[in-house]
């Protein structure tokens, strides 16, 4: 199962490096959510770190959920979903997609957290 999950991970990483669709979409989503939260909060909450941490985690949670949904939508749009299900078990597909989204979230965090600070 781990070999199949690695194959799904490697396929998705190659696809992402070619198109950079998910990274740019997740980053733009996180950036716009960060801007909206910053505008809504304003300077009044600048001294409350627990609220700022909650807002940062909210931005990252929304970005991660948008990225995970996008990983499966791409397979359905390209009509490769049924082929993947024939080649790999569902658990391996989920693990591979999850690992790709974990890497994608780490890249988003590397870009968003300095902007948030």
Q: Concatenated DSSP letters for 26-79?
A: HHHHHHHHHHHHHHHHGGGGTT-HHHHHHHHHHHHHHHHHHHHHHHHHHHHHTT
For residue 69, is pLDDT > 70?
A: yes
pTM score over 0.85: no
Mean pLDDT, residues 53-76: 80
Residue 50 has which token pair? Answer: 């627990």
What pLDDT, on the 0 to 100 scale, is given for residue 6?
92
Q: Confidence band (pLDDT; 50, 70, 90) for 83?
A: confident
What was the pLDDT predicted at 29? Answer: 84
Handedness of CA 69, 34, 29, 31 (dihedral sign): negative
């Amino acid at each position: 199962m781990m070999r199949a999950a690695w194959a799904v991970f490697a396929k998705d990483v190659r696809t992402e490096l070619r198109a950079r669709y998910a990274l740019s979409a997740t980053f733009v989503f996180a950036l716009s959510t960060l801007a909206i939260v910053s505008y809504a909060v304003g300077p009044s909450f600048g001294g409350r770190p627990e609220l700022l941490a909650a807002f940062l985690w909210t931005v990252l949670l929304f970005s991660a959920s948008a990225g995970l949904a996008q990983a499966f939508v791409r397979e359905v749009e390209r009509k490769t979903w049924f082929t993947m299900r024939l080649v790999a078990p569902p658990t391996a597909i989920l693990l591979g997609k999850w690992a790709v989204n974990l890497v994608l979230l780490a890249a988003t965090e590397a870009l968003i957290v300095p902007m948030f600070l």
